[in-house]
Amino acid sequence: MWIQRSAIRPVPPYARIGRASLEHLRNALQLEADESPAAFDEMYEEFEDRQPVLADHIGEVLSQPLQDSSVALGYFLSVSIWAAFDQTLGTALDAISPDELRSTTELFALDQDLRGQAPLDRLDTDDVVAMEQPALVEFVHESIQSTLRAQRGKLDTSELGEIYRMLLIEILALSYAVRSPAGYPLTKTEVQA
């Protein structure tokens, strides 16, 4: 928990994705890719069916003029993030509405503005998201670094920045779309939201 101000709402413990879940997902994705090249396409179709608002948003971001490798990385990571939530939390994960996605995007932008007004603040908005979903943000960092190494610096960093922002918003939106378990006490923040 941090003391400094932030526009980003805390992610409840029941909505956090652990490192073990991501390792399991990474191994499953690798196995599926080895067995069937179409496995990822099927996973993307399932993502579109279950999270149509989020899938449309990601499609809009990735339909901009971007390098092919940036687009591929964006699709891979966005579907992987959703799959981590889906496989870990199952039916507790609700579909994100347009209002929920807009609200999360606005919170993210507001937090960036707050941090821009506090030059002595050592945290960036991505640091705040990393405190809320550390394993997911670490997974994203590792994947981006791996892609950068494989591409030997040929990727456009401004493109990666836009994709990174998209992924952080996705992580938050999915985190907020997780229903609390029956009998789980509401926090003060959830009551006020």
Query: Hey, what are 95's tokens?
Result: 């579909």
Split at pLDDT 50, 70, 90, the class of 1 is very low
The span from the CA of 171 to the CA of 110, in Å, is 17
What pTM does this model have? 0.89
Domain boundaries, given as residue ranges, for the chain = 17-179
Report the alpha-carbon distance of residue 187 to residue 38 in Å, rounded: 42
Render pLDDT for 94-134 as a digit per residue (tens, 0 to 9): 999 999 999 999 999 999 998 888 777 678 899 999 999 99
R_g (Cα) of the chain, nearest Å? 17
pLDDT of 41 > 90? The answer is no
Give residue 26's Cα distance to chain centre: 15
Strands (E), 17-124: none
- Rounded mean pLDDT, 27-38: 74
